């Protein structure tokens, strides 16, 4: 299906030349969502937002928008508002995620060289509980025939993957952490989140479907996502807007699991009492609550976090909820939250400046919002964590990212170990073999 002639970021309010025609219809259970993604797709053609078997997957491009810079969120919102307003939508399902839906992924930094990606897939398949549906979108004169939705041939595992250090070797990055601690103790910032990257290169193109299926199988409590070649499994829900209810899950404070239930229970107790981790977590929760407060009539911010158990790590977690008080969309709320203290630091401007100084790399869309939104503005946006970007020009190459919150009590060697733990999900997905 062709890309619709839609408003560009430089003129986001312009009316589309060829409005989209969108139709959603019920579907009999076709099998696991991620197994439905067709073979032969480029990574940039795959979209996913799946948790515990529910959510959305899609493929093809009916319309897309790319933008960058400080106004990227506003330009993206204006583009989608215009597309949605002009679209002809026939929704026979009426569930969150049916009808006209856009998927997006945004760079972390205002000055990133990487573009924000928004895409309306040509085909989207959704599942919520026991209900399934398929949505088609096309520009004007496209065919209205519904696609055959069925499991595709299984993807091949990546072949002969080699890993190499990214912008900084672990020892160098530990030095950056030490410098961050020095700046914190000097009073420059309260907290800063430093990230490192790792380059994986395979002998043949990496199939995004393989990575997604491996992540979903191992980390089913996370949101397994893909937009524009960025694939991952994030445990952190930046914001959900669903018929007036606003939710955000804040994660900050991490410890690696041992695999021994008794030991892990003791580690979880230690994490819940750790002054360093509780301090880091408090900064993150406060930043989210302060950003959401202007948009909510009431809010619930728990006084103490709980310990979220994932397959390889445990996090301190807090679910912040509120009742929407205005018409700001889920993307607008995500923009107001970004960058939270969980991925940037506190105070925000000073922490982001320190990140640019110490990391030595462009994060791209790592740690930026990723998710989906419907034409009413409801949707879900996570933070792009535990992820990698499959290179558009060389799909054999995948750049992996992981970050750690640095506070006054941080120990550089411990932060290197924590970042290694956070790289495990993507490393394992790339080196797993077919069973």
The residues annotated with a catalytic role in the active site are 191, 236
At 117, give phi and psi (nearest 5°).
-120, 130
CA dihedral 280, 285, 290, 291 (to 10 degrees): 100
**Residues in contact with 154: Cβ distance below 8 Å, sequence separation at least 6, in sequence order:** 35, 434
Burial of 264 (0-12, 13-18, 19+ CB in 10 A): middle
What are the structure tokens assigned to 68, written together?
């960058």
Q: Rounded to whole angstroms, how far apart are CA atoms 5 and 293?
A: 38
Burial of 297 (0-12, 13-18, 19+ CB in 10 A): exposed
Q: Rounded to whole angstroms, how far apart are CA atoms 201 and 5?
A: 36
DSSP assignment letter at 361: S
Q: Which helix (H) or strand (E) holds 418?
A: helix 412-431
Q: What is the 3-state secondary structure of 261-298? A: HHHHHHHHHHHHHCHHHHHHHHHHHHHHHHHHHHHEEE
């Amino acid at each position: 299906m062709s890309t619709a002639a839609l408003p560009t970021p430089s003129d986001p309010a312009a009316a589309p030349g060829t409005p989209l025609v969108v139709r959603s219809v019920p579907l009999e259970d076709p099998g696991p969502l991620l197994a439905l993604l067709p073979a032969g797709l480029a990574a940039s053609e795959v979209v996913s937002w799946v948790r515990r078997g529910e959510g959305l997957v899609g493929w093809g491009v009916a319309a897309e928008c790319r933008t960058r810079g400080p106004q990227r969120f506003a330009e993206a919102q204006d583009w989608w508002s215009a597309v949605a307003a002009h679209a002809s939508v026939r929704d026979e399902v009426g569930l969150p995620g049916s009808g006209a839906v856009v998927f997006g992924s945004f760079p972390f930094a205002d000055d990133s060289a990487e573009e924000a990606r928004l895409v309306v897939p040509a085909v989207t398949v959704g599942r919520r509980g026991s209900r399934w549906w398929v949505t088609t979108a096309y520009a004007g004169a496209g065919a209205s025939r519904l696609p055959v939705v069925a499991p595709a041939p299984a993807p091949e595992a990546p072949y002969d993957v080699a890993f190499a250090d990214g912008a900084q070797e672990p020892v160098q990055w530990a030095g950056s952490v030490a410098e961050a601690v020095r700046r914190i103790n000097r009073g420059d910032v309260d907290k800063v989140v430093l990230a490192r990257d790792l380059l994986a290169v395979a002998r043949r193109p990496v199939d995004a479907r393989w990575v997604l299926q491996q992540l979903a199988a191992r980390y089913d409590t996370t949101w397994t996502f893909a937009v524009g070649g960025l694939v991952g499994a994030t445990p952190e829900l930046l914001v959900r807007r669903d018929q007036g209810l606003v939710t955000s899950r804040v994660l900050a404070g991490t410890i690696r699991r041992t695999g021994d239930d008794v030991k892990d229970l003791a580690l979880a107790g230690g994490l819940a009492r750790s002054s360093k981790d509780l301090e880091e977590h408090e900064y993150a929760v406060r930043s989210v609550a302060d950003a959401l407060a202007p948009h909510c009539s009431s809010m619930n911010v728990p006084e103490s976090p709980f310990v979220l158990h994932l397959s390889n790590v445990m996090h301190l977690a807090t679910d912040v909820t509120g009742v929407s008080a205005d018409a700001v969309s889920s993307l607008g709320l995500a923009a107001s939250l970004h960058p939270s203290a969980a991925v940037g630091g506190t105070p925000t401007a000073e922490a982001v400046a320190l990140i640019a100084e110490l990391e030595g790399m462009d994060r791209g869309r790592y740690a930026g919002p990723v998710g989906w939104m419907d034409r009413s503005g409801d949707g879900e946006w996570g933070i792009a964590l535990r992820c990698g970007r499959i290179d558009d020009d060389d799909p054999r190459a995948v750049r992996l990212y992981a970050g750690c919150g640095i506070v006054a009590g941080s120990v550089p060697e411990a932060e290197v170990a924590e970042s290694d733990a956070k790289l495990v999900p993507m490393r394992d997905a790339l080196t797993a073999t077919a069973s």
